[in-house]
Amino acid sequence: MENKISAIIMAAGYGPGMKSSLPKAMHKISGQPMVEYVLKSVLDVVNSRPLVVLAGDAEDIKEHLGDKAEYNHLQERESIDQIVVLFREFLEGLDGHVILMEGNLPLITPDTLRDLVSSCQRGSYDAVVLSALCDNPQGYGRIIRDISGNFEGILEDVEASSEESLIKEIDTSVYCFKVSTLLEGIDRLADMDPENRYQISDFLYDLMGSGGKIGIHTVYDSTETMAVDNRIRLAEAQKIMGQRINNYHLERGVTIIDPDNAYIGPHVSIDRDVIIYPGNVVEGHTTIGRGTMLLPNNRILDSTIGRDTEIQNSVILKSRVEDRATVGPFAYLRPGSHIGEGVRIGDFVEIKNAKVGKGSKVSHLTYVGDGEIGENVNIGCGVVFVNYDGKKKHRTIVGDNAFIGCNTNLVAPVRVEDNSYIAAGSTITQDVPKDALAIARARQVNKEKWVIKRHKKETEENQ
């Protein structure tokens, strides 16, 4: 019979050290809330839906994680270590083993949790405490072992003597229990203390007193169990997670010129032979195609970038850029933009909810909003797709092989047909037929010797 494994993730704390109105577990590392990293590691190990414990006003965690977990709420902000007793109903529906852990341990890996459960199963333990060896154990409870090296207890940091404070093996607040054992312990302690004012360590001491068997599983990379409870540790965790993510891509054939200055999210997919220069921030569910070069200082979010593309000093949000395109410097692709194969999007160009066809060029100082540009089109400097009439947005359609002269205003809704030309400085309010030249500007008038006459008049007036 398969041994059931589940988990309780305690994500109800706000953490005074964070100095924030945001729940502690919702603070982000590499663009993703800490609790999402924890849940992902847990889901790789368990075979039933875990329980996430929330504070009464922490619905944002539930909304973010969705149906990957079950949820229960504390009506008040109880101590994290009291939560298990408040959710007997969840435990009674389980058998096998349950992992207990907090939601602010974003660096813990599935392998460590799997080894913890395996240790509990192989050793037939009633409970196993996950410990770590920490060079700076300040703030953590210390693991106390007996003369044989077996678990004897957990000593809180504030209670440790000067000698005991030198112990470097810490309690990580991650445990694996037999469900039946934990339920029995809850019942015994509830009878002794009806107000349920006790901590996880009390379960362990009670379990030892009743003849239970407690083991210790040590993880030797203490960074995995770093509890993020202030902004300093948040920054430290960000650095470690960033290194993990960057190393993952480096091992798979991506060149990151300065890994300490490239920020890549956990859901980003990057093909081999991509080169990433310093200052790039790549977030969300972004995909980067083979051979693409991200020159310095781009931000790319939830976008698809094709092969052999070059992007520099630009922002790309929820858009698609096809193969062999170039974007930037200083371009801004807003959501809904689709840049075709071989397209050139140049400096200070903004594209919004628009499609630019294969081989077209939008080179300088241009706004393309709510438009569709065909193939092999040239858009001159300073062109504006005038898409908003004060109440509604309208679309502009430009056909294949069209040429739009500099400083042209295309007032939507308007259509420019294939092979047509628009003279520079025009304001186009009507459709332009195929193969036509549109000129929509005042005729130039030169007044000979006007400046001389003006100066003469001013001189006479001043006499």
Task: Indicate the residue type of 246.
Answer: N
H or E element in which residue 368 lies: strand 367-369
Is the C-alpha dihedral spanning 161, 164, 165, 166 positive or negative?
positive
d(CA 173, CA 25): 15
d(CA 378, CA 374): 10
pLDDT at position 91, please? 85
Class of domain 314-438: mainly beta
pLDDT at position 80, please? 44
pLDDT at position 197, please? 54
Is the C-alpha dihedral spanning 250, 256, 259, 262 positive or negative?
negative
pLDDT at position 448, please? 93
379, two tokens = 């858009």
Nearest Cα residue to 84 out of 168, 164, 203, 1: 203
Residue with tokens 């630009």: 314
**Alpha helices per DSSP H over 30-78:** 34-43, 59-65
- Known catalytic residues are 364
Residue 296 neighbours by CB distance under 10 Å: 15
Nearest Cα residue to 13 out of 38, 42, 32, 46: 38
pLDDT at position 422, please? 97
Fold of the domain spanning 5-225: Spore Coat Polysaccharide Biosynthesis Protein SpsA; Chain A (3.90.550)
Question: Residues with Cβ < 8 Å from 257, sequence gap 6 or more?
Answer: 275, 276, 277, 278
pLDDT at position 99, please? 96
Q: What ranges do the domains of the chain cover?
A: 5-225, 314-438
pLDDT at position 321, please? 98
Q: Is residue 35 a contact partner of residue 25, using CB atoms and an 8 Å limit?
A: yes
Specify the DSSP class assigned to residue 279.
T
In a structure prediction context, what are the per-residue pLDDT tens digits for the chain, which is 463 residues long?
Answer: 357 999 999 887 777 889 988 888 999 999 999 999 999 999 999 999 999 988 766 678 888 899 999 988 776 545 544 555 566 778 887 889 999 999 999 999 999 999 999 999 999 999 999 999 988 888 888 999 999 999 998 988 888 888 888 899 999 999 999 999 888 887 776 666 555 555 777 778 888 888 889 999 999 899 999 999 999 999 999 999 999 999 999 999 999 999 999 999 999 999 999 999 999 999 999 999 999 999 999 999 999 999 999 999 999 999 999 999 999 999 999 999 999 999 999 999 999 999 999 999 999 999 999 999 999 999 999 999 999 999 999 999 999 999 999 999 999 999 999 999 999 999 999 999 999 999 999 888 999 999 999 999 888 888 7
For the chain, the 3-state helix, strand and coil shares in percent, each to the nearest 5, are 25, 30, 45
d(CA 12, CA 84): 12
2, two tokens = 């398969």
